[in-house]
Structure 1
Amino acid sequence: MIKSQQGNQVADYSKLMKRQSPESSATIKKQIHKRFQNRQTIRELYQQKAWKTLVKVGSQTKGLYEEYDTIKVQGQVLSVGDSVLINSGDQHDEDYVGTLKQIISIKEPTTAKLICLCRIQWYMRKSEIIKSKPKCSEWISEQELFITNHQEYILAQSIISSCKILSCSEYQELDEIESTIYFNRLEWDLQKKQFGNMDSVQQFCFCFQPVNPDRQYIQCDSCKNWYHFECVGIKNGKYNQKEFHCRKCQ
């Protein structure tokens, strides 16, 4: 016999089995076994941090799984589609960045506690990209992110706050740049460790690099092309003459 926390009788399964046919009794036994097996499985999967499997198990059990459009984390209301900063742990200097793709909760049957998980699409930072492409360090901005096709589940409480991810042109138009404002213009293939759409980005200067908003540029008054100060010999970030002509136009 199974009882509620108040001690009232819920169901006497031994009597129930006697009133059922052999086929229906077997079905009920399987349902009971599955229910209690899932209780243990969800607890174990949580301890193992096996989030993907936990979501799969939870979604297959009626009453344990629910999806949401919004979630409140650290006093902020976040919605599916928002970009967020995620705690990377004590071993990392930079927080992770991702976009919320799904918000779900899974109930742990024994304790009735809710496990809140978020499916995140990840971005890569400059520090991660230059490990594979060290020569790109000069043109990648400190606030630049690279979108990936990699998604995975995380605990909702690991989210720190929301952030903004702009286009490169939107970012360049800003007068003041906050630490939680980033921009994205390129994809990053995690398997091949290369950019996915590099041909779509315009290249500048004699060094033929994409624009880096962190660096200083000067425009030639003749050809209207832009050049790095360093590449045209301008030192200390100063140019006092009224006009500038690149070496091709001089």
Structure 2
Amino acid sequence: MRNETLLVRWSLQVGSLLVLAAVGCTPDESPFRAENEVLKRQVIKQESLLSSLQDGSKVMQQQIDLLNQEIRDAKSTTEAAKAEAKHQAEQLELQLAETKRMIATQMTESLKVEEKGAQSDTLPRPMPTVAKVVEDALARNGYHLKVSVKTDQRAVYVTERKISNPASLEVTGSRNQYLISLQALPDSLTKLGVKAEFERVAQGGRILTVSHEETSEIERRLINEINKALESPAKT
């Protein structure tokens, strides 16, 4: 009887130890679950942030593409406008050249009549050089240009009428207007023609007649001044 009691006690003790051992060996999973939940929430949050960034990047790329297209369109429009402006400028230059040619032709035809009786000389200089000297000589003597037409082969100048009022009853004044023509010749020569419309002016504005010789002298004076200027090294 005593042995049975001891056996029962021993069995209970062993059972208790086994229960305690079983309980002690079972891991507590609650901290891992909490950590997993935290990690899951962080992953979800990061995925949401990444998605937002990707959406924002797409919007920005669309804006960049739109701006690039607008820049290309603006460049294309600007280039087209430049091309059109260049074309118009070229057309205007052609029209201007044609107008000058027509004017020069008309002036040449009219000068064939006007140059009758004018003084002329052939100068050993190219026409552009002579033209510059003529312009300087007219300006130096107080003559302002009324008409100036120049082409590669011809140049025509018509001055304003210059008036010198009489200083007294004994001394007459004068008024004069020059018509000057230049024509380019072979071998860098230039034909110079000078025609003066010279008149004497008395007190009260009365116009006095002058002789052909006096008018010719006025024309020769300008030709001589042009020749002297061309002989100067500083002018040529």
What TM-score range do you get, normalising by the shorter chain?
Answer: under 0.3
| TM-score, with structure 2 as normaliser | 0.28
In terms of fraction of residues, the more helix-rich structure is 2
Could you say which structure has the greater relative contact order, defined with CA pairs below 8 angstroms and 6 or more residues apart?
A: 2
In terms of fraction of residues, the more strand-rich structure is 1
